[in-house]
Structure 1
Amino acid sequence: MMTNLFSTFDPTSLFNQPLNWMSTILGILIIPISIWMTPNRYFLIWKKINFTLHKEFKTLIGNNSLLGSTLIFISLFSIILFNNFLGLFPYIFTSTSHLTMTLSLALPMWLSFMLFGWLNHTTHMLAHLVPQGTPPILMPFMVLIETISNIIRPGTLAVRLAANMIAGHLLLTLLGNTGSHLSLFFINILIITQILLLMLESAVSIIQSYVFAVLSTLYSSEVI
């Protein structure tokens, strides 16, 4: 029995091993083997998506980007998208609804951007702390505000993804638990509502992985 509503999202263990987190790599297992062998429809669709993302990320980073720098953001988009979609299936643990997973993606990336920027482009990073046209009297406050906004970036990235994923799952869980107490007419309405919510969650899964990747790309463009 659940101790509270959020306990449905707690990782469980088997023989003291947290096997739920293995769902993070479960997406690799459902990919057809033929996608790696011959250029079939799956491969061509995924290649088209990756090429579109590459062009957009390349535009966001700018002309000063290193060769192949968009690959990390395409990979980030892919792993978040896989985990978001897998969480919509019954009895599959949604790792992206936990801050453990989202912070593990956001924090190291943000730290690497900051270290690279401050070590290689110190003047450029200092210039970012004071927006152009700021009155001299407001400069100390702007430096403080910009510093705080830079520090909380990994937190906002992680919380945004986790909150959006857990919100839809909570709503689906709440509505699903009421089914045993409803009449046949209301059960039909509930099923239709659940299907519509599932479609909405599918769209949210794509949008949130895209937003995470795009914001990470924008943060990296500031340090180059």
Structure 2
Amino acid sequence: MPNLFTIFDPFTKIFNLPLNWISLILGLLILPLMFWLTPNRYNFILFQIIFTLHKEFKNLISKKSYFSSTLILISIFIFILINNFLGLFPYIFTGTSHMSIALSLALPLWLTFMLFGWINNTNHMFTHLVPQGTPSMLMSFMVLIESISNLIRPGTLAVRLMANMIAGHLLITLLSSMNLNVPFFMIFILSLVMVLLLILETAVSMIQAYVFTVLSTLYSSEVI
């Protein structure tokens, strides 16, 4: 018996090239063409999402001079959302369910925030290590706790995204494999449960993209 998690491993290869990772750029095929003369409804919906996210993210960023930084966060949101959603279709590889993709998104963001904060706002970063109102006896202990919490942030971001995407796929895979071993009247119930799980996974794919970008915005607001 192979490992259950091997169903998420890239194995489609031609000339020893892992073609499963091509799914990461499939989103470019469904993005609207910005050179159209007449905007369509698809453009309008996408622009509404972008403007809504920009308004929300700029409220989390304290200084107006950094409002333009929401563009990269919105781009990451759209990238994660498209890949999570496409992963729900049959025979399309879900890249965000792998630690290599999730960590490659979280680690550069966190490292950039830390470098910017420690280089430009060193005193501000030191004050964040000791919360206000901490007793003098606990200050050294709080510095250790805050340092560890800062270091594990990229890992928690990546694991949260990866684990939530894997969990639903595993449940759907397990239920689909049970159809061969259950009575005929149970197939209808299993099919209904799988449809409900698919709806739940659609919501999770949107929520996880939103959670990832909101937490990244909160981390960036702490270093400004």
Query: Is TM-score (shorter-chain normalized) higher than 0.5?
Result: yes
What code does the residue aligned with 1:195 have? Answer: V
The percentage of aligned residue pairs carrying the same residue is 67
After the TM superposition, which segments of 4 or more aligned residues of structure 1 sit over 4 Å from their partners? none
Note the residue ranges of structure 2 that are not aligned, 5 or more in a row: none
Q: Which residue of 2 aligns with 1:4?
A: 3
TM-score by length of 1: 0.96
Distance 2:106 2:28 in 1: 22
User: TM-score, length-normalised on structure 2?
Assistant: 0.96
State the alpha-carbon separation in 2 of the partners of residues 182 and 64 from structure 1. 60
Counterpart CA distance in 1 for 2:28 and 2:190 is 33
What CA deviation, in whole Å up to 9, does each residue of 1:34-92 have, x standing for no partner?
A: x6413110000110011000000000012344241110110010000001001100011
C-alpha deviation, 1:152, in angstroms: 0.1
5 Å matches for 1:103-182?
103-182=103-182
Correspondence 1:217 to 2:217: yes
**Corresponding residue for 1:76?**
76
Distance 1:30 1:183 in 2: 41
Q: CA deviation at 1:27?
A: 1.2
Code of the aligned partner of 2:218 = L
2:103 touches 2:158 (CA, 8 Å); kept in 1? Answer: yes
Distance of 2:15 and 2:193 partners within structure 1 = 38
Q: In the alignment, residue 46 of structure 2 is paired with which amino acid? A: W
Map of 1:86 onto structure 2: 86
CA distance 1:192–1:36, change in 2 (3 Å)? farther
Structure 1, unaligned runs of 5 or more:
none
SS in 1 for 2:89: coil
The 5 A counterparts of 1:32-51 are 33=33, 36-37=35-36, 38-51=38-51
2:106 partner amino acid: A
Deviations 1:143-185 (A, max 9, x none): 0000000000000000000000000000000000111122221
